């Protein structure tokens, strides 16, 4: 069954509390991957490596009074890291498809006394409820969920002023031809994690250029992940058996998709990258 915006919303509504409950870090509630680089020694530091890099990119555009948005913000962890570290930022927006995530993010904002500084809204990042031009827009592991990713780049370009930055941390498909086994693993990842927007860097760059967004930074982060891939035969057996289980909850495809992602990253089918685009 094709992935839809509604199915992505349901996926996160059903899984978010489980993701947080079984997270190995109670301090950094990031629903994204840890990166063991930039001097990271603890899990909390590794989970915030991507946030720290995004922070630097925002500061490079707007050292003070930054105007920015997190599109696909999850429960707000990236915003809670970035916002207090900026110099006198303007009010920020966090947008998520999931009402469950939006509610959790608003609750955390109140606990941190940031409810007047960060607005969390439920909505689609291809149609953002903002008219003003921003210094930066960013998304972490979010564009991969886009049913029509080109619309994301069109909307990001609309939101940014000339010289503004679009910052992405996400999965990208390798441009090389795939074997049948590799194609099967990519399919298992895309279907299990509801990520129809996984494309090559070349494809997303072409969309970005169409809307006057120029790629200025492209860094592969995969070597900084701690992968948990399995022997291929064992992983295929688990995937086969998992698909036979009569479990309807979205946690099962998520677990199978997570295993498939590890296989994809290990085999070089998918690359985890940090991309920065500048609005021309």
E-state strands within the chain: 68-71, 92-96, 118-122, 134-140, 160-173, 213-220, 270-279
The pLDDT score that the predictor gives to residue 206 is 98
Please give the backbone phi and psi of residue 167, each rounded to the nearest 5 degrees, phi first. Answer: -120, 125
The pLDDT score that the predictor gives to residue 23 is 64
Mean pLDDT value of segment 57-67: 98
What's the pLDDT tens digit per position in 190-228? 999 999 999 999 999 999 999 999 999 999 999 999 999
Least-confidence region, from 53-62, 160-169, 248-257: 248-257
| Confidence tier at 83 by pLDDT (50, 70, 90) | very high
* Residue among 6, 22, 237 at smallest CA distance from 263: 237
Two structure tokens written together for 156: 């990001």
What value does the CA radius of gyration of the chain take, rounded to a whole number of Å? 18
**Whole-angstrom distance, CA of residue 279 vs CA of residue 10:** 33
**Whole-angstrom distance, CA of residue 74 vs CA of residue 237:** 32
The pLDDT score that the predictor gives to residue 250 is 84
Q: Which residue has the tokens 């479990």?
A: 247
Residue 264 belongs to what H/E stretch? helix 251-267
| Confidence tier at 27 by pLDDT (50, 70, 90) | low
Parallel, antiparallel or unpaired: strands 270-279 and 92-96: unpaired
Mean pLDDT value of segment 68-92: 98
Mean pLDDT value of segment 229-236: 98
Instruction: Kindly give the interhelix angle for 232-244 and 251-267, rounded to the nearest 10 degrees.
Output: 160
Q: Structural domains in the chain?
A: 5-172+194-226+269-279 (3.40.50.150)
Q: Which residue has the tokens 């590799």?
A: 182
The pLDDT score that the predictor gives to residue 178 is 98
């Amino acid at each position: 069954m094709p992935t839809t915006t509604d199915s992505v919303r349901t996926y996160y509504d059903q899984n978010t509390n489980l993701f947080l409950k079984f997270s190995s870090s109670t301090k950094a509630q990031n629903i994204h991957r840890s990166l063991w680089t930039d001097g990271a020694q603890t899990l909390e530091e590794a989970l915030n490596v991507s946030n720290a890099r995004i922070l630097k990119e925002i500061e490079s555009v707007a050292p003070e009074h930054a105007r920015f948005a997190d599109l696909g913000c999850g429960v707000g962890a990236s915003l809670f890291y970035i916002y207090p570290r900026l110099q006198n930022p303007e009010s920020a927006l966090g947008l998520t498809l999931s009402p469950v995530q939006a509610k959790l993010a608003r609750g955390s904002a109140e606990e941190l006394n940031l409810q007047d500084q960060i607005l969390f809204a439920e909505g689609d990042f291809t149609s953002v409820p903002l008219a003003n031009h921003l210094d930066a827009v960013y998304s972490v592991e979010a564009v991969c969920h886009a049913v029509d990713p080109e619309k994301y780049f069109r909307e990001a370009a609309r939101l940014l002023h000339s010289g503004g930055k679009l910052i992405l941390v996400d999965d990208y498909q390798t441009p090389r031809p795939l074997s049948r086994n590799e194609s099967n693993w990519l399919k298992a990842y895309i279907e299990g994690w509801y990520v129809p927007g996984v494309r090559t860097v070349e494809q997303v760059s072409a969309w970005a250029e169409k809307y006057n967004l120029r790629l200025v930074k492209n860094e592969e982060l995969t070597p900084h992940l701690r992968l948990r891939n399995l022997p291929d035969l064992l992983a295929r057996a688990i995937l086969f058996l998992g698909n036979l289980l009569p479990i309807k909850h979205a946690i099962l495809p998520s677990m199978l998709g997570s295993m498939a992602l590890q296989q994809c990253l290990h085999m070089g089918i998918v690359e985890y990258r940090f991309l920065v685009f500048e609005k021309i």
